[in-house]
Amino acid sequence: MIDIHNHILPGIDDGPKTMMDSLVMAQDAVSKGINTIIATPHHQNGRFINLKNDIDIHVSKLNNQLKIENIPLTVLVGQETRLNSDIMTEVKSGDIATLNSTKYVLIELPPREVPCYAEQILFDIQIAGYIPIIAHPERNLQIAEQPSILYNLVQKGSLTQVTAASIIGKFGKAIQKLSHQLIDNNLTHFIASDAHNTNSRGFALQEAYLLIRKRYGNEIFYMFMENAEMLIAGKDVYRNEPQLVRRKILGLF
């Protein structure tokens, strides 16, 4: 399996603190069927500033250590960037890392709202030749209350990534319900772990995929699996026509 959103790099955000912690995460990932991870440290979320050149160095160090320890995991360069008005300037300057040097950019919204300028920035990203992937929209309060906001963004070309732990209910029943509604209505295109450690924010990708296969069948299961493969290859991914979520999800927070 491929995990496109992960905080495995040590000491640079709210993921593992040491190289040893990262190696423990890597071993756990491999034991759960993951062979490739895109490291996506936070950038400009109010606490962390991680620039592409620095991420390149950290990924190289971790991959070297994985080889030394004979852990069969490949880590690729990525970044999770908080939505802001300077995104395209930073992409062009080389400060922001796309996912595995492809056209895909992982974008994080604020947790409680979708800023009024979000649609314009996501559009600007596409005009510049990139494709925004909105990380964990199921955990955004305003989207939970008004799913039509996400429908509008997806209809206009943005992709989304739902967190594996959300699908299996680790963030609560309301977020789990919304996650499945996003799948039901073709409003998400990737499943990823967003793992930060092996305990409170661990890998749940295998469990999520098993649940998806059981509930939705092989077609949707393989779509998500293949979309991750096509992403790291820089190819266009599968996307079905989005539909509106008809019911609001209340009581999330």
Q: pLDDT, tens digit, for every residue of 38-53?
A: 999 999 867 889 999 9
Average pLDDT for residues 80-94, to the nearest whole number?
91
> Which tokens go with 56?
């390149």
pLDDT for the residue 246: 81
Distance CA 198, CA 238 (A): 31
Q: Judge contact between 183 and 13, C-beta under 8 A.
A: no
Tell me the backbone φ, ψ of residue 101, rounded to 5 degrees: 60, 30
Domain 2-232 CATH superfamily: Metal-dependent hydrolases (3.20.20.140)
Distance CA 59, CA 39 (A): 8
pLDDT tens figures, 212-253: 999 999 999 999 999 999 999 999 999 999 999 986 544 444
Q: Judge contact between 69 and 94, C-beta under 8 A.
A: no
pLDDT for the residue 249: 47
Kindly list the domain boundaries of the chain, sorted by start residue: 2-232
Distance CA 53, CA 64 (A): 17
pLDDT for the residue 248: 53
Burial-class residue 124 by CB neighbours within 10 Å (0-12, 13-18, 19+): middle
pTM, 2 dp:
0.95
pLDDT for the residue 91: 87
Distance CA 203, CA 168 (A): 12
pLDDT tens figures, 154-165: 999 999 999 999
> Which tokens go with 48?
């962390």
Q: Judge contact between 82 and 44, C-beta under 8 A.
A: yes
Instruction: Answer yes or no: is pLDDT of 5 > 90.
Output: yes
Instruction: Answer yes or no: is pLDDT of 169 > 80.
Output: yes
pLDDT tens figures, 112-160: 999 999 999 999 999 999 999 999 999 999 999 999 999 999 999 999 9
- What is the separation, in whole angstroms, between the first and last Cα of the chain? 32
pLDDT for the residue 42: 96
